[in-house]
Amino acid sequence: MSQTSILVLTTGGTIDKAYFDALSEYQIVDSGIPALLKEARVSVPFRMVELMRKDSLELTDADRALIASAARQAPETHIVVTHGTDTMTETAKVLAKAVPGKTVVLTGALSPARFAETDAPFNLGMAFAAAQTAGPGVWIAMSGQVFDGLKVRKDREAEKFVAI
């Protein structure tokens, strides 16, 4: 398999949240994605661009247009987008229309990457693998699966993503 460079676009979300003390709310801080990739000894070439630091519930149409524009204009054809899980599927729909011919994989976490018990490293690894092996289109790598980005939903009660 060739070493195709992967573009990582970070947008915020739970994967990059920190909890400072019992009286604080979560805050999105500097992305922990580079540290996760270093710890995992990722040797695939990648370039990271921080687009924003937002909870996905705060994303606007303009934010989604920015994500789509960055993906569309990038020289890379394999893209991982870290994103909050609450509106990940909404962004997937925008990307599916706006970024043809590229492989775009969205991923995030149900608990912050900085927590001892988190799905963040696993999901990020799944996203990197999917970006290298999936065909063009928009995909979501969550809950130990790679889903068609247009045929998935977050099941809050089960605390996982499920195909629809």
SS3 at position 162: strand
CA–CA separation, 102 vs 107, rounded Å?
Answer: 16
Q: Is 14 a residue of the active site?
A: yes
Catalytic residue, candidates 11, 14, 89, 103? 14
The b/e string for 5-36 (b: 16+ C-beta within 10 A; e otherwise) is: ebbbbbbbbbbbbeeeeeeeeeebeebbbeeb
Catalytic (active-site) positions: 14
